[in-house]
Amino acid sequence: MKCIKLLLNLNIWCGILINEIIGPYFSEGTLTPGMYKAFLQNELPYLLKEISLNQLQNAWFQHDGAPPHYALIVRARLTDMSLNRWI
């Protein structure tokens, strides 16, 4: 009998704001600070385009504790995007 083992390394980002689901966004591979910064810079603005400025200013951007979420380049990008309310 032949056994095939498949390893899938998939990241899924999804947001919840009031009664709306934002995303999901899928990326393959091990998440790195550079990949996450690229997501924040290139993909997140597109995902948030339907959200009002007022809602964004009152929202919290929550991370789950993965090391790439707290890299200096990621924190700098969050500050540049004026997402000052993140935990």
| Domain count for the chain | 1
Residues with Cβ < 8 Å from 25, sequence gap 6 or more? 12, 13, 14, 39, 43, 47
Q: Is residue 19 part of a domain?
A: no
Q: Is residue 57 part of a domain?
A: yes
Query: Contact at 8 Å (CB) between 40 and 75?
Result: no
Query: Contact at 8 Å (CB) between 55 and 17?
Result: yes
pTM here is: 0.80
pLDDT at 59: 82
Write out pLDDT tens, residues 27-74.
998 999 999 999 999 999 999 998 888 888 888 887 787 899 889 999
**Domain with 70 in it:** 31-86
